[in-house]
Structure 1
């Protein structure tokens, strides 16, 4: 019996698109591409998610790679980018409905602690019964151990869980630890609603 529904964040409850994030920062096309490459497409960005370095440590590395005139933009982006993500309102409405129907809602995301704390400190936190964030655990999906962290921390039975992610590698990993899983895109919200309704 399905009792717990676990959501990834990027491209499931929000549109994670670095190009769209950078559009908030008054950059020339050249500056945009330079910061896209040196921040969001860098190996350090992945290391933030993995908990290997902090956002502050990464910022110092990024600052060393850009012209001095762009350094204030790097600092601004690194401290404010979570607030410049577009969240999918229909998904949050659906999560509210699921909670009213008695389901427990959890988050499981590959992300650094700056975004994790933004979520926990905002009204979004009211939608979730608990979270696991990769940087905090120093584990990233699809490592099966991060799913086990969620299950053990919140005393969940895998056969009572549905995991929703936009990447098939991550949903396959959830299935391998015994969860049901659904590979999601925003245009599949209706399919997800039908899938859960049949449970």
Structure 2
């Protein structure tokens, strides 16, 4: 029996930052998926992983990321990447969150960094207010930068279950990254990889037995 829905934020309730990465790469003549390649190299110890655990400061991340990208031939200051993280809220996904919240425990589980304006990394005051309104729909928000754990470390899913007081098999979990979903699925969670908004709503509707139309 499902008792909780666990939500990633960026790429699920907002448009994906990968779209911004692609634009940046095209604008600067970089190879396709260059930024994702940097972030997936030594994924547990690289600059990005350390920053999401708050193991380094913004200034340290800026220098470390520039060094890592420079080793691959195209140095990019880390601060430039932070600017790309904000996405646009997806109203239909927010509506699904509201409906799920009437029936299930809804918790946000997000890898984020100690920079910008919280989970959504928003660009301005109006966008920040929009993100804060979404955050209030959750029973709780679990941020990697605040607890020192990040997805896909299995411990963060164990922590989330403890906070929600549920068993893994009682959880539906949405994320846009398969690498984050694998440990959760292995624990027994029902996982949904968000490829598109339409697909995610369809899969969530089936898993949670809720109509979003």
TM-score (norm 2): 0.67
Distance (whole Å) between structure 2 residues aligned to residue 175 and residue 38 of structure 1: 27
Aligned partner (choices 36, 49, 53) of residue 50 of structure 1 = 53
Q: For residue 171 of structure 2, what is the aligned residue in structure 1? A: 161
In the comparison of the two structures, how many residue pairs are matched? 186
Distance (whole Å) between structure 2 residues aligned to residue 39 and residue 168 of structure 1: 14
Q: Which runs of 5+ in 1 are unaligned?
A: 67-73
| Maintained 8 Å contact 2:20/2:85 | no
| Maintained 8 Å contact 2:58/2:79 | no
Distance (whole Å) between structure 1 residues aligned to residue 178 and residue 19 of structure 2: 23
| Maintained 8 Å contact 1:119/1:125 | no
Give a deviation string over 1:42-69, Cα, whole Å, max 9, x none: 6423321233213243235568999xxx
Q: For residue 16 of structure 2, what is the aligned residue in structure 1? A: 16
Q: For residue 183 of structure 2, what is the aligned residue in structure 1? A: 173
- Label 1:179 to 1:79 Cα distance change in 2 as closer, same or farther (>3 A): closer
* Larger mean Cα displacement after TM superposition, 154-163 or 116-125: 116-125
- Label 1:22 to 1:102 Cα distance change in 2 as closer, same or farther (>3 A): same
SS in 2 for 1:102: coil
| Maintained 8 Å contact 1:18/1:40 | no
Q: For residue 69 of structure 1, what is the aligned residue in structure 2? A: none
Distance (whole Å) between structure 2 residues aligned to residue 145 and residue 173 of structure 1: 10
Q: For residue 74 of structure 2, what is the aligned residue in structure 1? A: none
Distance (whole Å) between structure 1 residues aligned to residue 17 and residue 57 of structure 2: 21
Higher helix fraction (1 or 2): 1
Q: For residue 93 of structure 2, what is the aligned residue in structure 1? A: 91
Matches within 5 A, 1:4-153: 4-18=4-18, 20=20, 29=27, 31=28, 33=30, 41=38, 43-59=46-62, 77=80, 81-83=84-86, 85-99=87-101, 101-114=102-115, 117-119=118-120, 122-153=132-163
| Maintained 8 Å contact 2:64/2:78 | no
Aligned-residue CA RMSD in angstroms? 3.5
Q: Which runs of 5+ in 2 are unaligned?
A: 40-45, 71-76, 122-127
- Label 1:116 to 1:145 Cα distance change in 2 as closer, same or farther (>3 A): farther
| Maintained 8 Å contact 2:51/2:58 | yes
Q: For residue 194 of structure 1, what is the aligned residue in structure 2? A: 206
How much does 1:91 deviate? 0.5
SS in 1 for 2:151: coil
How much does 1:170 deviate? 2.4
How much does 1:20 deviate? 2.3
Give a deviation string over 1:10-47, Cα, whole Å, max 9, x none: 32222223552696x9xx93x5749x968994642332
SS in 1 for 2:174: strand
